[in-house]
Each structure stands twice: as C-alpha cells, then as structure tokens.
C-alpha cells in the first residue's frame, strides 16, 4: 500500500478506538441488558426475552406519553433548532437565544417555566368559569353608583372569586407537591 492511503487511517484510528470504547460497546451492552431483568441493586441476571418491551409498550403504561412529552419538550427548547430559539431569531432577538436545558444557570428556570406553563391553562379555565359565574347585576349596580374598573375588580370580582381562588391555590400546592412523589 502507498503511504498516502494509510495516512488518514493512522490519525482516525485513535478516534475510532475511543468512539468504539465509549459509544458502540456500551450501546451493545445496553441492548443486551434490555433482554434481561438486570437491576443495579442485584447481582442476579436472568434472560427475559421481549418481556421488558411488552411492559414498556403495553397500553397500561405511561412510557409512551413520557417519551412524547420529552420529545415535545426538547424540540421546543433545543438550543440549535428549538422552536423557542428559532422564534427569537426570527423576530431579531438573537441575544436572547439560550442553551435552555444544558446551561446550569438557566436549566432549572427553564424546566420550572415549562411546568408553570403546563398548569396555567387548567387554572385559567377554573378562574374564567369563576368570573363568568359572577352575576352581571353587581357590575351594573356598581357602574350606576359610579365605581370605576379598579373598584369593580376590588369590591366585586375579588370577593366573589375567593372560593375559586382558594380551590386554585390548593390545586397549585398539590401540583407542586407532586414533584416530590416517588412514583
């Protein structure tokens, strides 16, 4: 063989060796473990065939929902092609483009923002129903008496929404505590 044809492989061999040791071999081992009942807490290993895959893809499990949520979540916050960063670039706010999930300074806040956003629709629906349940005659009477918008909000809307606000606060606290649920 000519020396010029061996030259690229000489430099690529180290990278290929490292890639094989750190990616290919662990991947093959992981695929092998997927056909067993291996646990990090036990030294026993038994071949179970496709049972793990049957469990993951059974209709009783929520794995597919979690996989879909993860795909949506990461497609929005992907630093290069995510919907959020692309939207910021499109409107000329390149300085606000971030590595939302990989930057330790903002990853927690990104996850918290998504979690808050996820629960906002449900809470807003409850609050809108509560506002629509307030009889209009109170607002009409307050308008006749000369109340402005802020006074109507302060003396009619907020007091009439106390029970609805209590329910939403309890739901938010329960939702916040679910973060610590081990299930």
Asked if 111 and 177 sit in the same domain, the reply is yes
Asked if 85 and 136 sit in the same domain, the reply is no
Asked if 24 and 79 sit in the same domain, the reply is no
Average of pLDDT values for 151-163? Answer: 94
Contact 138, 156 (CB under 8 A): yes
Asked if 110 and 183 sit in the same domain, the reply is yes
**Taking the CB of residue 173, how many other CB atoms lie within 10 A of it?**
10
Q: Give the span between the Cα atoms of 68 and 71, in whole angstroms.
A: 5
pLDDT, residue 95, reads: 86
Asked if 67 and 7 sit in the same domain, the reply is no
**pLDDT band (50, 70, 90) for residue 3:** low
4-15 CB burial, b ≥16 within 10 A, e <16 = eeeeeeeeeeee
pTM metric for this prediction: 0.50
**pLDDT band (50, 70, 90) for residue 35:** very high
Last residue of a domain, one of 102, 124, 156: 102
Average of pLDDT values for 14-30? Answer: 90
Asked if 76 and 127 sit in the same domain, the reply is no
Average of pLDDT values for 95-114? Answer: 84
Asked if 54 and 121 sit in the same domain, the reply is no
**pLDDT band (50, 70, 90) for residue 88:** confident
Q: Is 47 helix (H, G, I), strand (E, B) or coil?
A: strand
Average of pLDDT values for 32-52? Answer: 85
Q: Which of 167, 169, 139, 140 is nearest to 154 (CA)?
A: 139
Domain count, the chain: 3
Domain region containing 79: 62-102
């Amino acid at each position: 063989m000519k020396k010029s044809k061996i030259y690229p492989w000489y430099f690529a061999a180290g990278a290929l060796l490292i890639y094989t040791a750190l990616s290919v071999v662990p991947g093959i081992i992981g695929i092998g473990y997927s056909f067993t009942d291996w646990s990090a807490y036990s030294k026993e290993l038994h071949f179970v065939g496709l049972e793990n895959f049957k469990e993951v893809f059974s209709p009783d499990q929520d794995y597919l929902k979690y996989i879909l949520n993860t795909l949506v979540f990461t497609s929005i916050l992907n630093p290069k092609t995510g919907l959020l960063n692309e939207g910021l670039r499109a409107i000329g706010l390149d300085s606000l483009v971030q590595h939302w999930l990989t930057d330790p300074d903002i990853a927690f806040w990104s996850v918290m923002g998504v979690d808050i956003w996820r629960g906002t629709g449900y809470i807003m629906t409850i609050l809108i129903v509560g506002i629509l349940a307030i009889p209009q005659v109170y607002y009409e009477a307050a308008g006749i008496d000369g109340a402005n918008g802020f006074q109507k909000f302060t003396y009619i809307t907020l007091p009439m929404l106390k029970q609805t606000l209590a329910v939403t606060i309890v739901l938010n606290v329960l939702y916040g505590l679910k973060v610590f649920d081990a299930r």
